[in-house]
A and B are shown apart, each in its own frame.
Chain A
Amino acid sequence: MKIAEIKDPVAVETETVETPRSTAGRSDPSMIVPITLFYVLMIFAVIRSPSLVSASGIGSAVIVATPLILATYALMASVISGRGTVDLSIGPLIGFINVTLVQLVTAGYFTNPFAFFGLAFLLGAAYQLIFALIVVYVRVQPIIVSLSGFLALSGINLVILPRPGGMAPEWMATWGLGTTVFSPVFWLLVIATLAWVLFTRTAFYTHLRLMGSDERAAYTSGVPIAIVRIGAHIISGLFAALAAITFTALISSGDPSQGTTYTLIAVTALVLGGASLAGGRASVFGCALGALNLYLITFVLATFNFGAVQSFVTDLAYGTILVISLLLTLVLPLIQRYARNFSPLLYFVALGVVVLGVVLHATHDYGAVSDAYVVPPFPGPLDVVGTMRGIFETGALDPQTEALRTAARPLIWGVVILVLLAGLARVAVTEGKTRDVGPLVFLVIGLIVLVTAYSISQSDGFSFGIGSDAPHEEGKP
């Protein structure tokens, strides 16, 4: 363990620059990436397919995304506990609970909702209890225990239910329809999130984070680390049970092989949400956003017609976005230097207003576009040109909106320039004193002002907006 401690200087650095616990929620730059990504994807999704923001659209999104979010919560509970506990077996565990319940229900047992929930919780907690006991008392690395659990559970899942099938209980039949937003699955998600938020208020959670950040420090300051670790795992098991129940509601049957994908997606969502796989740092808000981002990526890609290579494009996008967002966490300390008072909540709200505008535009300006948009026959050869046509918008605007848009263009560009200027001025103030960067910043600002003045003097409006044909002539005074 000593070796592992020394070996990870990057993690140590990021850990030390982190703000104290009490203000962790308020000034946490690790939230910049998931929030930005969420809104960018949201804009894409809404413009590509405005039907997302209808009752049934959101309803089905909730149904599909909830098992994902809950699986991420389950993973989060054990990841916080440190020692590199990335529970790879979380997906097979969800599959295990799913197939066991479905087989029992099909055979006529546990059809009562209370018994159903109770058994799910029992299975999840029992598995994670064994996991924790092995980690604590046999002292094998958690990653190996989880690997072992992954193999064992994915094997036993296929034994219990060799191929997808079976029946969810009758009272669950309507859960997976997704016609309204406020389905039982939605309330489960809300309750689970609230439960997690309440959990973060307890002393137990503080102990858990302390243990995840520095187990030795936790031990020497009297935290009962064995009990805390076991508790974290049992909580993880309970969330896994909830994820399994919502997963059962989603597919209303049993599926033994879906587990692997859930593991990979949950780990990805966790990282996208700004959690540290080394332990000690994770937030419920970030994890939910990370899982939602993954759902939105799939959703946005599904609106393009990639023909037979659809799933490959999804893989490519998953992988690329995952790597890029990981690389972005490297520049976090840099961002933190400039954005000391960064507030995730404010950022969330500010971007939310922008996206609300886009949503209104997408749903109201086009009228009947979503009907006119025909999805081409699915398994066909890849049509590159067809795919690239209209990457943002699937329909044409009516003339009135078009005119409005042209009128609003100078205003928009003005705002953009102002924001840019404000940002650069901020940089100039903070960095102006250092000898090497200062002149460059002033040079850039000066250039931008000159270019702006030049373009205003050259044309009556702004000529380098989207869609206008005027040539670009900045840089030639």
Chain B
Amino acid sequence: MSQTGANPQQLSLATRLLGLIAGGILTLLSVIFGFVQDQPVQSIILYALATMALFFWAWKFILPHFLVEREHAEDTHGPGPFRRIWIDYRPSLIGLALIVLAFFILAASIDGFLNGWNVLSLIILLAIIVATRTIGPLFETNRSAFIGIMVLIGLFSVGAMNIEGFSSGWNIKSMLLFASFLGLASVGQTLVALLGGLDLSIPFVIGAANVGLLYLISLGVPPWLAFCIVLTIGALLGVINGLLSYRLQGQALIVTLGTGFAISGGVQIITSIGTAYGGNVFGTVPGWLSNLAAMNGKTFGIPVPAAIFIWALTALILVVGLRVTVYGRYLYALGVNRISAKRVMISELKYWVMAYTVSGFFSALTGALLLGWSGGGFIGVGEQYLFLTLAAVVVGGTSLLGGHGGYGFTVIGVLVLQVLSSFLVGIGLDYEWQQFIYGLLILPMVALYARSPHIRTQI
């Protein structure tokens, strides 16, 4: 996870031997447990190998970070260890104490609050906070991803313990499906944010594609052709967005909002000319499109809707592409410092327009998939994505100022938001409470890793 961190040092021989022995013991333990539980021999071998590989990998790549930090810490002679811990982690310790206090107050005031599950949830919550404060800083560049994964694990385990059916296959499938809609919608937002822009036209393009596709199909255009046309138009709208906002980069937020309004208004006018029902389109969605995105959809016989695979493939291509290809590296170069990027002949206009084009394309794709999911066109289908795409990008850890982050981070952000929303639905909170909690949670999550430096350090 953190190959790009502070350069990992070579482990000493003793440490390596120790790791070898520990790994061996662990593998032996797993083999013994396997035989005790009467597992088939093949799976015992498989699991033992997997355990050993995972352990050695972790030993080799994660341990050096700790060692580097520890050596550094030992150099400073000063206050005693407890005193130093107090100085280093003062806010977190106060926060921990407050959380524990709040828990005891709740336990004292609400009958039946003090049960095993809640105590376990508290311990997990505390463990996440402790882990993010102590281990988190060691992962220098990917701290937000680490925190995101910790939160994800914590939320999921708490949800699985407290809510019946939370970790069932059906629920996981539905979470993944909704996450893939949000994830596809956030592709463009991530790329644009890497350049330091914002795209608020996403929800409007989603709604417009949703209505427009059904309108084209009801006109008699072959569904596959209509699908392609909608995606093309989405990409074209992205080009227009990019060209318009290129010279107005400080105000990309408001330019894209304006184009979004215009797009959704225009599409609705086109689709409602001649009908008495403004804004509503009626028609039948072709079977393959529903199969692509509906909950009971199948992909080559596997009972998982294809939208999830589309998302996974997109995520893979983007994560690898941003890391490896020239396009990806130039995108980061422009995001970090566009003047120096221009000096090495990177065309800013080209990348800016490209990012918005990708954004338009994936918004249209999301809109089309949402049509397959719901089976009916509705212009407001994308409304919630106005702030959710932004929240996913921000929670994942991509900086809105550009140059730092990536689509992998957004995937984590999307999953966190989705598991959180499932969790909130599971414990019986209404939509409005969910939104309230979303709002309150974004702030501390960002505050954990994306605080800007004090002004006095920037002079």
Contacts and interface: CB of A to CB of B under 8 A. Distances in A.
Contacts of B257: 264, 267-268, 319, 322
Nearest to A86: B253
Interface in B248-304: 248-251, 253-255, 257-266, 268-269, 272-279
A312 B451 contact: no
A350 interface: no
A151 B439 contact: yes
Contacts of A330: 247-248
B337 interface: yes
Nearest to A322: B258
B108 to A, nearest CB: 26
Contact of A309 (B263, B268, B458): B268
B420 to A, nearest CB: 12
A307 interface: yes
Interface in A372-392: 379-382, 384
A316 B250 contact: no
A57 interface: no
Contacts of A353: none
Interface stretch (A4-12, A119-127, A240-248, A398-406): A4-12
Contact of B435 (A1, A9, A155, A310): A155
A216 B454 CA distance: 11
B439 A152 contact: yes
Contact of B261 (A157, A216, A308, A318): A318
A144 interface: yes
B248 A10 contact: yes
A150 B269 contact: no
A1 B452 contact: yes
A86 B227 CA distance: 37
A145 interface: yes
A94 B455 CA distance: 31
B458 A1 contact: yes
A319 B439 contact: no
Contact of B338 (A6, A11, A215, A322): A6
B436 A1 contact: no
Contacts of A319: 257-263, 265
Contacts of A154: 432, 435
Nearest to B401: A4
Kindly state the interface size class of chain B when it binds its partner.
35 or more
Interface string B24-53: 000000000000000000000000000000
Contact of B403 (A3, A219, A307, A323): A3
B435 A151 contact: yes
Contact of A323 (B259, B264, B440, B456): B259
Contact of B247 (A10, A134, A138, A318): A10
A355 interface: no
B432 A156 contact: yes
Contacts of B433: 155, 159
A315 interface: yes
A151 B458 CA distance: 32
Contacts of A225: 455
A277 B451 contact: no
Interface in A289-330: 307-320, 322-323, 326-327, 329-330
A151 B459 contact: no
Interface in B323-353: 336-339
B100 interface: no
A379 B275 CA distance: 11
A149 interface: yes
A60 interface: no
Nearest to A151: B439
Given A1-B452, A316-B265, A322-B258, A382 B274 contact: yes
Give the most central of A8, A140, A149, A379: most B CB within 10 Å.
Answer: A140
A147 B442 contact: yes
Nearest to A278: B250
A312 B337 contact: no
Interface stretch (B134-142, B166-174, B387-395): B387-395
A216 B455 CA distance: 7
A376 to B, nearest CB: 13
A7 B400 CA distance: 13
Chain B contact residues, majority secondary structure: helix
Contacts of B273: 309, 382, 384
Contact of B337 (A6, A138, A268): A6
B338 A326 contact: no
Give the most central of B255, B279, B436: most A CB within 10 Å.
Answer: B436
Kindly state the interface size class of chain A when it binds its partner.
35 or more
B265 A312 contact: yes
A387 to B, nearest CB: 11
Given A138-B447, A155-B435, A220-B459, A314 B265 contact: yes
A458 interface: no
Contacts of B125: none
Contacts of A3: 336-337, 401-403
B339 to A, nearest CB: 6
B265 A313 contact: yes
A4 B403 CA distance: 11
A305 B8 CA distance: 70
Contact of A318 (B258, B437, B458): B258
A311 B442 CA distance: 33
Given A215-B455, A309-B278, A312-B278, A327 B248 contact: yes
B387 A150 contact: yes
A141 interface: yes
Nearest to B258: A322
Contact of A308 (B277, B446, B451): B277
Nearest to A279: B250
A155 B253 contact: no
Interface in B214-252: 244, 247-251
Given A139-B451, A140-B451, A150-B439, A267 B458 contact: no
Contact of A144 (B261, B265, B337, B443): B443
A105 to B, nearest CB: 22
Interface in B48-85: none
A314 B269 CA distance: 11
B405 interface: no
Contacts of A86: 253
Interface in B149-175: none
A276 interface: yes
B92 interface: no
B443 A155 contact: no
A216 B459 contact: yes
Contacts of A216: 455, 458-459
B22 interface: no
Given A4-B196, A154-B435, 6 more contacts: A1-B453, A138-B447, A216-B455, A219-B455, A314-B265, A322-B258
29 contacts: A3-B401, A4-B401, A6-B338, A7-B339, A139-B452, A140-B447, A140-B451, A141-B401, A148-B443, A155-B433, A155-B435, A158-B432, A216-B459, A225-B455, A267-B253, A277-B251, A309-B269, A309-B279, A312-B266, A313-B269, A315-B264, A316-B266, A316-B269, A317-B265, A322-B261, A323-B258, A323-B262, A326-B254, A329-B248
The 8 A-B residue pairs whose C-beta atoms are closest, nearest first, are A152-B439, A308-B278, A319-B262, A319-B261, A155-B436, A151-B439, A316-B265, A315-B265
